[in-house]
Amino acid sequence: MPRRRSELGRFSDPSVLILASLASGPRHGYAMILDIEEFSGTRLEPGTLYGAIGRLERRGWIAPLQAQERRRPYVLTASGAAALREQLPALQRVASTGMERLRAIRS
């Protein structure tokens, strides 16, 4: 699994955000930026977003749909959902460990 993640290069974190955004349904680029900002507070810039989209698409974790005018929506694939399911518990562990350790500092 670590190897799998490293293949996503410097876009590994945006990748998780994109997968999580598409987990609620297909979205085009700008809709992803807005959704990700809303649920994570991270504002992805288009260069980073499309770097990650390219990698996720090549891995088969997301797939492009028919473009509507110039906006092309992307959809989460079954393997993308499986990859997200695999990565989220690790992130949760990081978050809960961090919170626990912070509590120890405060007390």
Residue in 33, 62, 76, 83 binding other proteins, rule: CB under 8 A: 33
Q: Which SS3 state, helix, strand or coil, does residue 42 take?
A: coil
Give 23 or 65: the residue with its C-beta nearer to other proteins: 65
Identity of the residue numbered 99? M
CA-CA distance, 47 to 70, in Å (whole number)? 17
Shortest Cβ 69–other proteins spacing (Å): 8
| Min separation Cβ 58 and other proteins, Å | 6
Q: Tell me the helix, strand and coil percentages in the chain, rounded to 5.
A: 70, 10, 20
Determine, following the binding rule CB under 8 A, whether residue 4 of this chain makes contact with other proteins: no
Nearest to other proteins of 66, 107 (CB atom): 66
